[in-house]
A and B are shown apart, each in its own frame.
Chain A
Amino acid sequence: MPPSRIAITILSAIFLSSFVIFAVAPIVLGASVSVTSGDFLVFPPEGISWRWYTIIFADPRWRAAFINSIVIAGLCTVIATSLGTLTAYGIALTSNRLLRQGLIVLFVLPLAVPHMSLAMALYPVFARLGLIGTHLGVALAQALYALPLVVLAVLAVIRRRDLQLERAARTLGADAFSAFRLVVLPLLSSGIAVGAVLAFMTSFDDVTAPIFLSGSTAGTLPKMMLDALALNSDPSVMAASTVIALVGLALFALGSALSRRSQRSGSASRAT
């Protein structure tokens, strides 16, 4: 190898390892502080203990925040996934090309608007509907953030599937709703599952909707983290942060396994 090649190889190795360290190390090092036995948010942790995890699972405020987070993320997932699936199917059935593109733009538009502005815009409307401080209110706002992601995930699967099968089921006597339930839903299941994972992740990690809409009763884990950080920055926030990170990683692994499976079965059904 000429010297210039060697120099380039060494330089790119240095660059890439610094990149990997920059991307991964802060998260791992930050999470390691959650098992400190000390009282401060400093690295390295002063000894190992589960005390901050015990605290966030025993303290009633942290526990309430945790339960709120799960209930709200569950609601958000159900709402965004069902609306998004129906919407994506409706878009796919729209035969006019211009209308179809218009619908896609309409349903993807919330992605372009800052979440804080959306949460703020929802406040007066939800105040009128009595939804401030409720799980449903926060979940509806987050479902609005997640809806475009579900629509895009399901549309991506529709593109790989043969929707003529629905026509076949109709010809054989199924009405539109049974054909949807028995043929279309199973065909799109992998895209729907990926959409559901994205919706849950969006909600579980979001703080903008709770900031405007949670009142004092429906605060979530991220909201509690911000409040706790402002009050007294002890390592309990890092324990909560690590819980969120682990849930995110588990869901991401699940989502990518599902989408890989769908791609495989998609190409298999094309091959046969």
Chain B
Amino acid sequence: MTIVLWRPVWSPSQILVGNASLVWLLPGLVATAVLFAWPIINLLIVSLDIPTGMKSPYLAVLSEPIYLRVISNTAVSSLGTTIFCLLVGYPTAYAIHVLPPLWRMIVLSSVLFSYAVGTMPRVFSWIVLLGDRGLVNQALMQAFDLGEPIQMLYNQKGVIIGMTHVMLPFMVLTLLGAMARVPDRLVPAARTLGAGPLRAFALVFLPLTTPGILAGMMMVFIYSLGFYVVPAVLGGAGQTTAVMILRDLTLGQGRWAIGAALSITMIVICVLGSALYVALARIGEIEEH
């Protein structure tokens, strides 16, 4: 539809402001190069540039007990968060999906409210609630006649509770997207053909939302791996995660090589996981057509 006439492409205005999108992309590309590519390449160089005879910091990260401990802490709390987010998030998303509009609005608003206040206020609220004299312990001690409070702060429990609270909106919204893509008539069709409500749900609805489940789990897991505030505030000394020791290793002890190696390892895991997330989200799109 466009008629292409031969024009000299060398005029300066053509190069600067011609139909090329480059001029619009240039500021963003420069910023990404300076703020993203350069720092990460620099980090990679720091992690690889070691004096001869010294052990590679990557080997240290993968063999020394402290780092293994930190990596396993990170993995355990991320995995726990992912599982709890799915267990709470799927029924919630399903309820939002099938509820009448008024109730749907109430439940959805509570999800969005929790997202909108931000991470810091949510994490700090849990300090108030989970302490030995906090509301949760007061209630539990009254209800179950416990002699002493259950320690929930500064350990794995606190980290997983806080992290689940922070990540839940992402899980619910991802699942809602997947549920909205399930064609309306399939479940009623299964019912007409004789399936009970549970059977129709388990054999028709659930499998169709599997890409959403996997994508949501992947997203929660990746975000939890790199989360700082929750383990830093609600976890104890035993729950130190990978991103929590970065500052101490580098600015504190000046051990940039090992900090860089740990950071690069995290980045690689997170980027690969995100690629998987994108691939899973795509599977959902393809099935739609």
Interface residues of A (CB under 8 A from B): 12, 15-16, 19-20, 22-24, 26-27, 29-31, 33, 41-44, 82-84, 86-87, 89-94, 103, 106-107, 109-118, 120-125, 140-141, 143-144, 147, 151, 175-177, 201, 204-205, 207-208, 211-212, 222, 225-226, 229, 233, 237-238, 241-242, 244-245, 248-249, 251-253, 256
Contact = CB atoms under 8 A, between A and B. Distances in A.
B124 A238 contact: yes
Interface centre among A44, A103, A118, A151, by most chain B C-beta atoms within 10 angstroms, is A118
Contacts of A117: 43, 226, 243, 246, 263-264, 266-267
Interface stretch (B128-136, B141-149, B209-217): B128-136
Given A89-B24, A90-B25, A248-B118, A115 B226 contact: yes
Interface of B: 17, 19, 21-28, 31-32, 34-36, 38-40, 42-43, 46, 88, 91-92, 95, 103, 106-107, 110-122, 124-129, 131, 133-135, 165, 168, 222, 225-229, 232-233, 243, 246-247, 250-251, 256, 259, 263-264, 266-267, 270-271, 273-274
A19 B114 contact: no
B124 A30 contact: yes
B116 to A, nearest CB: 3
23 contacts: A15-B95, A24-B114, A27-B114, A29-B128, A41-B128, A87-B24, A87-B27, A90-B23, A106-B32, A112-B222, A112-B274, A113-B270, A116-B247, A117-B226, A123-B250, A124-B46, A144-B35, A222-B120, A226-B229, A244-B121, A245-B121, A248-B118, A253-B116
A208 B233 contact: no
Contact of B263 (A24, A121, A125, A253): A121
B225 A114 contact: yes
Contacts of B267: 113-114, 117
Contacts of A252: 112, 115-116
B124 A94 contact: no
5 smallest CB-CB distances across A and B, nearest first, come from: A114-B226, A30-B125, A90-B24, A87-B28, A252-B116
Given A31-B125, A103-B25, A225-B120, A125 B134 contact: no
Given A121-B39, A147-B28, A12 B95 contact: yes
B43 A120 contact: yes
A121 B118 contact: no
B55 to A, nearest CB: 21
A23 B113 contact: yes
Interface centre among A19, A94, A106, A175, by most chain B C-beta atoms within 10 angstroms, is A19
B35 A238 contact: no
A20 B24 contact: no
Contacts of A83: 27-28, 31
Nearest to A212: B247
Nearest to B197: A8
B31 A207 contact: no
Nearest to A204: B118
Dominant secondary structure of chain A at its interface with chain B: helix
Contact of A207 (B120, B126, B133): B120
A83 B31 CA distance: 8
Contact of A30 (B21, B46, B126): B126
Contacts of A118: 36, 39-40
Nearest to B223: A114
A121 B226 contact: no
Given A30-B125, A90-B24, A249-B113, A226 B270 contact: no
Nearest to B162: A26
A26 B92 contact: no
Nearest to B169: A23
Contacts of B243: 114, 116-117, 208
B106 A42 contact: no
A41 B92 contact: no
Given A83-B27, A120-B263, A242-B121, A24 B274 contact: no
Given A114-B270, A121-B43, 19 more contacts: A16-B95, A27-B125, A29-B129, A83-B28, A86-B25, A90-B22, A112-B274, A113-B226, A114-B227, A116-B263, A117-B266, A118-B36, A121-B40, A141-B35, A144-B35, A208-B228, A212-B247, A244-B117, A248-B118
Contacts of A26: 122, 125-126, 129, 165
A118 B36 CA distance: 8
Given A26-B122, A29-B135, A42-B131, A122 B35 contact: yes
Nearest to B39: A121
Given A141-B35, A212-B251, A19 B42 contact: no
Given A23-B110, A120-B246, A207 B228 contact: yes
B207 to A, nearest CB: 22
B247 A30 contact: no
Given A87-B28, A90-B28, A116-B243, A248 B117 contact: yes
B133 A19 contact: no
A107 B36 CA distance: 10
